[in-house]
Chains A and B, each alone.
Chain A
Amino acid sequence: MSALVSNARVSWYAIVSGANDYWAIFTLKSWVFGWCVRMLSQVSFFALIGKLLESDKQTQFFLVGNAVMIAAMGATFAMNMTTSERGNGTLSLLLASPSRPVLVFASRGVYVMADGVFSALLGLFILGPAFGLHFPFPRILLVIPLTALVGMSAYCFSTFLAGVIIRKREVTGLLVNATIVILMTLCGINVPVSFYPGWLAWISRCLPITNGLEAIRDVIDGAPAATIAAHVGAELLVMSGWLALALVTFGAFIRAGQRDGSLEYAA
């Protein structure tokens, strides 16, 4: 029991420190005028394609998909915190401490992920009406926990990837951007999963976002509860899978890094 408590405490402090780091970079003004504007522009960029195609249905498709993507983006950005750990030279200190590194890493980025989820919902509820869409109330409120689910799922995926690159810090920016754009391509964000050839659809369903997004679309379109539940279940499964993979491999990557000395560069 005490292990659980101390782990929880470690997590809590890590979350708080991650949050502090985040707010060291952003002020409220820059969050609103910088990040928010970008986020709304991003969703609008794709939603406008619906206008080009002269279809409200398409507009909704793009808008919902790309708004949810914002949550996943937040989760993916969290990878940056991992490598800044190594950059600051605090990684060695962390490894020397009794806590499990994966716990700290996983917790430090939680705030960024939560920010992504919040932004996604903001985008959805501001731009939906702006683009003339009508969301069914109160059913639409279900989208809130579902978006959080997508965010967490993407976060587990991102934590796993962070372990993969922990030894090669300079690749982080590239991986973050590559991940984001690949998820945008493969997770049914801008085209339905049915559009992909069979093998690609299979890969898509193993990635975070895909199933959860379908659940969200189901909610908005008024699909039966069973369908929604099935998609939610699938997303939970995917999330657990990536989480398990992260927990198992993180330690291994760190040990490999300790063996070959690649964790040391504070440059």
Chain B
Amino acid sequence: MRAFLAGAQIQLRFLRAYPDAAIPFFTAPMFSVIFQMVFRHAGREDLTPYAAIAPVFIALWWLALFNSGWTITMERWNGTIEMLVAAPSSFAAVVFGRITTTTLLGVVSFFETWLVARAIFGTKITIYHPWAFYATVFVTLFAMAGTAVAMASLFVLARNAVTFSNSASYPFYVLGGILVPVSFLPHWIRPVSAVVFLSWSADLMRAALQAAPMHEFWFRLAMVAMLGAAGLLVGLYAMRVILTRVRGTGELGTT
């Protein structure tokens, strides 16, 4: 537990020390502006829930990909990964602490997005199904964290992580239907979307912001949870592989 908190604390300190960590908190409100403008210009105020959700997912995904995803890799490049292994505390617990902190901070992007929409465009966002909404947010954050753990571990093991991580944003925004629902994608892509938890999550959140009754809520929520858990398991397994490599082949100690 102490290791978890130590991880959380240092992550907060990193946030202040590394300006790059603030990127998603700047881009989220800007995307909010862009999407609001688009729907207003098109005379489709009914689509403002879409505009309200998408920037949050963009921010959360960015946090998972870059702030979290690079956690272990940065330790490696910094020369501290071996010291982490040699410390009595659990390596996994420290990493969790850091990733969870980062993910929870993503909640800030909600407020930013909605504040901007309200302040600049006078958009009012009504949560028609509050319990469903909050439940979805909660499970989504969990799924984000789980996916982030997978990313953090896999980035260390994959040789081309650098270049691929840079490109793993928009493809997932499209597949995840975070702005334009998956139903607008060509048929052949939809099965892929089904395994990206973002698609289930985005659909649920949009539905919670609209007056119409929600369908199959528990099933859809379960899908988000399941996919997130799958990410977590993959991440844990990959972390074990990393530790084996650090101790066994000595391969990860240096760059």
A–B proximity contact (CB within 8 A): yes
Per the bound structure, the CA–CA distance linking A181 and B179 in Å amounts to 16
In whole Å, how far is B34's beta carbon from the nearest beta carbon of chain A?
5
With a CB–CB cut-off of 8 A, which chain B residues contact A171?
19
B-contacting 9-mer, from A29-37, A86-94, A108-116, A136-144:
A29-37
Per the bound structure, the CA–CA distance linking A192 and B26 in Å amounts to 23
With a CB–CB cut-off of 8 A, which chain B residues contact A38?
166-171
With a CB–CB cut-off of 8 A, which chain A residues contact B86?
none
With a CB–CB cut-off of 8 A, which chain A residues contact B185?
48
With a CB–CB cut-off of 8 A, which chain A residues contact B18?
170
Q: Are A25 and B163 in contact (CB under 8 A)?
A: yes
Q: Are A26 and B163 in contact (CB under 8 A)?
A: yes
Mostly, the B contact residues are: helix
Interface string of A171-193 (1 = CB under 8 A from B): 10110011001101100001110
Q: How large is the interface on B (under 10, 10 to 19, 20 to 34, 35 or more residues)?
A: 35 or more
A-contacting 9-mer, from B1-9, B38-46, B128-136, B197-205:
B38-46
Q: Are B180 and A34 in contact (CB under 8 A)?
A: no
Interface string of B155-192 (1 = CB under 8 A from A): 00000101110111111011000011100110000000
Per the bound structure, the CA–CA distance linking A166 and B120 in Å amounts to 33
With a CB–CB cut-off of 8 A, which chain A residues contact B169?
38
From B31, B38, B41, B166, contact of A181 by CB (8 A): B31
From A52, A58, A174, contact of B47 by CB (8 A): A52
- State which residues 160-214 of A face B: CB under 8 Å: 170-171, 173-174, 177-178, 181-182, 184-185, 190-192, 195
A9 within 8 A of B: no
What are 26 inter-chain pairs, A to B, with CB distance below 8 A?
A27-B160, A30-B163, A34-B160, A34-B167, A35-B167, A38-B170, A41-B171, A48-B174, A48-B180, A48-B184, A49-B38, A52-B180, A58-B42, A170-B18, A171-B19, A173-B23, A177-B23, A177-B27, A178-B27, A178-B30, A184-B34, A185-B33, A185-B37, A190-B34, A191-B37, A195-B41
Per the bound structure, the CA–CA distance linking A185 and B120 in Å amounts to 14
Per the bound structure, the CA–CA distance linking A196 and B163 in Å amounts to 36
- Contacts known (A191-B37, A195-B41); A173 close to B20, Cβ less than 8 A: yes
In whole Å, how far is A69's beta carbon from the nearest beta carbon of chain B?
11
Binding site for A on B (CB under 8 A): 18-20, 22-23, 26-27, 30-31, 33-34, 37-38, 41-42, 44, 47, 50, 160, 162-164, 166-171, 173-174, 179-181, 184-185
With a CB–CB cut-off of 8 A, which chain B residues contact A41?
170-171, 173-174
With a CB–CB cut-off of 8 A, which chain A residues contact B44?
53
In whole Å, how far is A79's beta carbon from the nearest beta carbon of chain B?
13
Q: Are A49 and B180 in contact (CB under 8 A)?
A: yes
With a CB–CB cut-off of 8 A, which chain B residues contact A42?
170
| Residue of A whose beta carbon sits closest to that of B167 | A38
Per the bound structure, the CA–CA distance linking A151 and B180 in Å amounts to 28
Per the bound structure, the CA–CA distance linking A41 and B196 in Å amounts to 15
Per the bound structure, the CA–CA distance linking A32 and B18 in Å amounts to 30
With a CB–CB cut-off of 8 A, which chain A residues contact B164?
30, 33-34
With a CB–CB cut-off of 8 A, which chain B residues contact A174?
19-20, 22-23, 26
With a CB–CB cut-off of 8 A, which chain B residues contact A100?
none
In whole Å, how far is A61's beta carbon from the nearest beta carbon of chain B?
10
In whole Å, how far is A39's beta carbon from the nearest beta carbon of chain B?
8
From B30, B34, B171, B173, contact of A37 by CB (8 A): B171
Q: Are B160 and A30 in contact (CB under 8 A)?
A: yes
| Residue of B whose beta carbon sits closest to that of A173 | B20
With a CB–CB cut-off of 8 A, which chain B residues contact A185?
30, 33-34, 37
Q: Are A182 and B30 in contact (CB under 8 A)?
A: yes
From A44, A51, A182, A191, contact of B38 by CB (8 A): A191
In whole Å, how far is B31's beta carbon from the nearest beta carbon of chain A?
7
In whole Å, how far is A137's beta carbon from the nearest beta carbon of chain B?
25
Given contacts A35-B167, A45-B180, A52-B50, 10 further A-B contacts (CB under 8 A): A34-B164, A38-B171, A41-B171, A41-B173, A48-B179, A170-B20, A174-B19, A177-B26, A178-B30, A181-B34
Per the bound structure, the CA–CA distance linking A171 and B18 in Å amounts to 8
Q: Are A53 and B42 in contact (CB under 8 A)?
A: yes
- Contacts known (A34-B166, A170-B18, A181-B26); A45 close to B37, Cβ less than 8 A: no
Q: Are A35 and B38 in contact (CB under 8 A)?
A: no
Per the bound structure, the CA–CA distance linking A90 and B44 in Å amounts to 53
In whole Å, how far is B116's beta carbon from the nearest beta carbon of chain A?
11
In whole Å, how far is B32's beta carbon from the nearest beta carbon of chain A?
10
